[in-house]
A and B are shown apart, each in its own frame.
Chain A
Amino acid sequence: MRNYLKYAVVLVLVAAVLALGSIGCSTKEEGGATPTPALTPYKVGALFASSGFNSTLGQTQKPTVEMLVDQINKAGGINGHPLEVIMYDTKSDTATAATLANKLIEQGVVAIIGPTSTGESMAVKPIANQAGVTLVSCAAGSVIVQPVGNYTWVFNTPQLDYVAIERLYIYLQEQNITKIALLTDTAGFGAAGRKWLVNTDMLSKYGLTIVPDGDQTYGTSDVDMQAQLTKISGTAAQAIVCWGTNPGPAIIARNMKTLGMTIPLLCSHGIAFKSFIDTAGSAANGIVFCAGKLPIVDQLPDTDPQKALLEKYKTDFEAWYGSGITNTFGGHAYDALMMVVDALKAVGPDKAKIRDYIENDIVNWPGTGGVYNMSPQNHNGLPSDPKQAMILVKIVNGQWTWLQD
Chain B
Amino acid sequence: MSSAQFVQYLISGITLGSVYALVGLGFTIIYAVTKIINFAQGEFVMLGGLLSFTLIHRAGLPLVPALILAILIAAAVGATMYLLAIRPPRKASVVSLIIITIGAAIFIRGIAGQELTKDFVRLPSFSGEESISFLGAHIDPQALWIIGTMVVVTIILHLFLNYTMVGKALKACAINPVASSLVGINPKTMALIAFVLASALGGIGGVVLAPLTPLSYQAGIMLGLKGFVAAAIGGFKSPVAAVFGGLLLGIIESFAVAANWGPFNSAYKDAIALVVLLLILLVRSGKLAEEERAG
Direct contact of A and B (CB under 8 A): yes
Q: Are A227 and B267 in contact (CB under 8 A)?
A: no
User: How many Å lie between the Cα of A257 and that of B197 in the bound state?
Assistant: 35
Q: Is the CB of A260 within 8 A of B15?
A: no
| In the complex, chain B residues whose CB is within 8 Å of the CB of A194 | 263
A212-243 toward B: CB 8 Å interface, digit per residue (1/0)?
A: 01011111011110111011001000000000
Q: Does B184 have its Cβ within 8 Å of any Cβ on chain A?
A: no
The number of chain A residues touching the other chain, given as a range, is: 35 or more
Q: Is A303 an interface residue (CB 8 A)?
A: no
Contact string against B for A residues 270-289, beta-carbon threshold 8 Å, 1 for contact and 0 otherwise: 00000100110111000000
A227 to B118, Cβ gap below 8 A?
Answer: no
Report whether B8 and A223 are in contact in the complex, using a CB–CB cutoff of 8 Å: no
Among B113, B222, B258, the residue within 8 A (CB) of A227 is B258
In the complex, the answer to whether B267 meets A250 with C-beta atoms within 8 Å is: no
Q: B108-119 vs A: 1/0 string, CB under 8 Å? A: 000001000011
Q: Does A348 contact B (CB under 8 A)?
A: no
Which listed segment binds A: B175-183, B187-195, B206-214?
A: B206-214
B271 CB to closest chain A CB (Å) equals: 11
> How many residues of chain B are within 8 Å of chain A by beta carbon?
46
Contact yes or no, A213 B16, CB < 8 A:
no
Chain B, 263-295, CB within 8 A of any chain A CB: 263-267, 270
Residues of chain B contacted by A375 (CB below 8 angstroms): none
Cβ contact of A215, chosen from B138, B214, B257, B263, cutoff 8 A: B263
A260 to chain B, nearest CB (A): 6
Q: Indicate which residue in B12, B118, B263 contacts A216 across the interface (CB closer than 8 Å).
A: B263
Could you say which of B1, B129, B264 contacts A217, with CB atoms under 8 Å apart? B264
Known: A279-B120, A279-B214. A224 touches B266 (CB 8 A): no
Q: Which 9 A-B pairs have the closest CB atoms?
A: A221-B222, A247-B214, A227-B257, A226-B12, A279-B214, A223-B213, A215-B263, A258-B140, A258-B131
Mind listing 22 A-B residue pairs with CB under 8 Å?
Answer: A51-B218, A56-B120, A186-B266, A215-B263, A217-B263, A219-B266, A221-B221, A223-B212, A224-B12, A226-B8, A228-B265, A228-B266, A230-B258, A231-B258, A234-B2, A246-B214, A254-B129, A254-B140, A257-B131, A275-B119, A279-B121, A281-B129
Known A186-B266, A231-B258, A258-B139; further 4 A-B contacts with Cβ < 8 A: A53-B218, A56-B120, A194-B263, A230-B258
